[in-house]
Structure 1
């Protein structure tokens, strides 16, 4: 039985950061309409203005996407963390952590970099670390 304390601690940190990502997505949904006007003024100065409805719709869509992807990654990480209790399910746990990392990478366009890297490292650690086997047997006299 391997002590997987490092994976568990990093997994909890990754879950917490993913939940913070859900909060960040909710924060994007609660942006004041005056902010869109300021952004549109800056875009007009650069020569590439967008209609207000398009700008607001795109920010809301990305906020919802960020929330959903972060929530999915957090749930996958929680299930992976629960599977770390036994050595036989460590491979499944590693796969779940890697899927969570890929989900965060693709779904948030790389903005959730820290939890994504943590999930990737945990997934690799869960897959690579194997339980110690005794190399000494009773067949050969010592």
Structure 2
């Protein structure tokens, strides 16, 4: 049996960061309306102003998307960590970690960079790391 302590620790860290991402999405939903006016003033100085309603709707939509994608990534990572307990399911957990990393990459437009990289590394480690084979096997008795 392979000790997969590194994968488990990085998996727990990525779950925590994904849950923080859910909180960040909720924070985006609770932004004060005066923030949108200030943001619109900055955009007007640059020459690309938007109506405040459009700006508010886009921030709310992205906040909801960020929350949902982070929650999906956290659930997939937890399921991958559960499957990581046995060596037979290490390939399945590696695939789940990689799917979670791709979900974070596409869904958060790269803003969840740290958990995405952690999940990508964990997925590759789970797929590549193989159990050590003994020199003496049952096929060739010593």
Give TM-score, length-normalised by structure 2. 0.96
Q: Deviations over 1:81-134 (max 9, x none)?
A: 000100000000000000000000000000000000000000000000011111
Segments of structure 1 that go 5 or more residues without pairing to the other structure are none
For structure 1, which segment, 127-136 or 69-78, has the greater mean C-alpha deviation from structure 2 after superposition?
A: 127-136
Query: Across the two proteins, how many residue pairs are aligned to each other?
Result: 141
SS at match of 2:86: coil
Q: In the alignment, what sits opposite 2:32?
A: 32
Structure 1 residue 65: Cα displacement: 0.3
RMSD: 1.0
Runs of 4+ aligned residues of structure 1 deviating over 6 Å after TM superposition are none
* CA distance in structure 2 between the aligned counterparts of 1:15 and 1:44, rounded to whole angstroms: 39
Q: Deviations over 1:43-76 (max 9, x none)?
A: 1111111001000000000000000000000000
Structure 1 residue 9: Cα displacement: 0.3
Give TM-score, length-normalised by structure 1. 0.96
* CA distance in structure 2 between the aligned counterparts of 1:79 and 1:72, rounded to whole angstroms: 11
Q: In the alignment, what sits opposite 1:6?
A: 6
Segments of structure 2 that go 5 or more residues without pairing to the other structure are none
